[in-house]
Chain A
Amino acid sequence: MTLKQPNKLPDWLEQPNQLSSQRQRHNFLAHNQQHLQQLLARLSQPLPAVQSKKWQLSPAMSLVRLGILVLLIALTNNTGWLWLLGLLIAGHLLLLSPSQFRRFCRSWLMSTVIALLIVLPSYWLVGSATVLLFGFKTGLILASTQYYRLTTTFQALLSGLKALHCPNILIMTLAIAITYLRMLGHYLLQTMQALDMRLVAPAKHPYRLIGTLFGNLFLKSQAYALELYAAMEARGFNGHYVNQPTTTNRWHDVLTLTPYLVLVTLFIFGRYYGIN
């Protein structure tokens, strides 16, 4: 290798740059960086638990409760029933702290409005009653899932699934997915920032850049997989995902689930008596 004298810089490097500026049409990088930052912030924030410990369900039970709620709401077309279920959800919301509740309201309203906008044109097809009922039901389902998300940590979701006897391999895969979502997300964000730093003019082929971004991300994820496998083996990985036993007691769980169980029974038997 012939070394150039490093003290002698090429001429272009000795002179200052001519600054140029061109109009830019799409700014997809900035947009996506923002998006990704929000995701990362959400992933790194440990979700605050429900205020009173007294009302806390074990992770498995809160998953069951979510399932029951969503199913009941989806199944029924009786406004009275829906009303009752709505009250139940509203009661749960009381357990949220004020700031949590405000966060809940913001995202819930957003998603409900979007859902409503989609069905609104069907007003001319099927009439107002259907649209109203549909909106009401969708709103309730969104509220119950939103409540679940707000009060459940990733760890709790995993131990809930575990307690419900999900296959170990699925739980392990989920755990890896959540962990690496953060790592890959961070990597992608940094790559975008590095790209941003050197993107001194509008990109001529934005899609080619996106292709390289995700190509790199894929290669990185493969490298991670290799490392992770080595680490797993080194720690005596035997295909089982172990997690701590949950501490809440069964009685308590059953007690908190009672309203839902009553509702389910009512729903099933109610059909015969025309209640629903």
Chain B
Amino acid sequence: MALIKLTALSYDYPNTRGLDQLNLEINSGDFVCLMGPNGSGKSTLLRILSGLENASQGDYHFDGQAITADYLANPQDRQRLHQQIGLVFQNTDVQLFNTSVAEEVAFGPRQLGLSDAEVAQRVTDCLDLTHSSDLRERVPYQLSGGEKKRVALASVLALNPKVLLLDEPLNGLTIAAQQQMLTLLQALRAAGKTIVMASHNFKQVQAIEPRFVIFNVAHQIQADLSAAELAAQPEQQAELLTL
């Protein structure tokens, strides 16, 4: 059974359409890359998947459970969902609010009721994995854009979610840092995590052979291709290179 299942899902913002009639299935362990023009609905989809927003029409099932407004209104259910899904925002500014990077990463695990030693272990591990150990005592508010991206990922990883939703995690990173990030994502994929990321860096992402879900300007899914299928479609590739 698919872990994430969308059926005829649409989402409307107060005066614009955000998503139009999406049908999508994502299995446990999939690595999906969302691509598409600006404003095509990638961020919107990630927000719906994370339960921050409710679909206007259509259904969203996570692990067999229908995620509805009622379901999300129950604090316990909401927490359960958030324990399984982690989201790195496109604008990481909003995500970091603690007084130090170490505190930021410890925020999640501490709530899970882990012991201090376990929390400290997770903080060290996550900062190492994202190559941000040297930022440990810094104030998140004063970090650079790229540093914020890495710390945001570390703080989400520390919760060990089953599904990782990443909104443009490569944006603002140097090529070397992008490689490091992708290597980490591959390792996570190997560990069985489900990863859905939005990105504009086709070249870099193509190297790790994800499944591509491509949006068009009408907020619909235009194509849903595995890396191998995409390789057979040069014109589609050419189009993705322009995004």
Contact = CB atoms under 8 A, between A and B. Distances in A.
A56 to B, nearest CB: 24
Given A30-B73, A187-B94, A200 B156 contact: no
A198 B125 contact: no
B107 interface: yes
A4 to B, nearest CB: 5
Given A1-B133, A200-B112, A201-B112, A13 B125 contact: yes
Interface in B147-188: 155-157, 159-162, 180, 183-184, 186-188
A245 to B, nearest CB: 29
Given A14-B191, A19-B84, A200 B108 contact: yes
B82 A198 contact: yes
A6 B75 contact: no
A41 B191 contact: no
Interface residues of A, number: 45
Taking residues whose C-beta sits less than 8 angstroms from the other chain, chain B's interface range is 35 or more
B82 A213 contact: no
B188 A200 contact: no
Closest 7 CB pairs of A and B: A190-B94, A24-B75, A201-B111, A194-B95, A10-B125, A200-B83, A4-B128
11 contacts: A1-B134, A7-B190, A9-B191, A12-B125, A15-B160, A21-B80, A22-B79, A197-B156, A198-B86, A198-B108, A219-B141
Given A6-B129, A15-B160, A195-B97, 18 more contacts: A1-B133, A6-B187, A7-B186, A7-B190, A9-B187, A10-B121, A16-B160, A17-B83, A17-B159, A21-B76, A21-B80, A30-B75, A191-B94, A196-B82, A197-B52, A199-B111, A200-B83, A212-B98
Interface of B: 14-15, 50, 52, 73, 75-76, 78-80, 82-87, 89, 91, 93-95, 97-99, 107-108, 111-113, 118, 121-122, 125, 128-129, 131, 133-134, 141, 155-157, 159-162, 180, 183-184, 186-188, 190-192
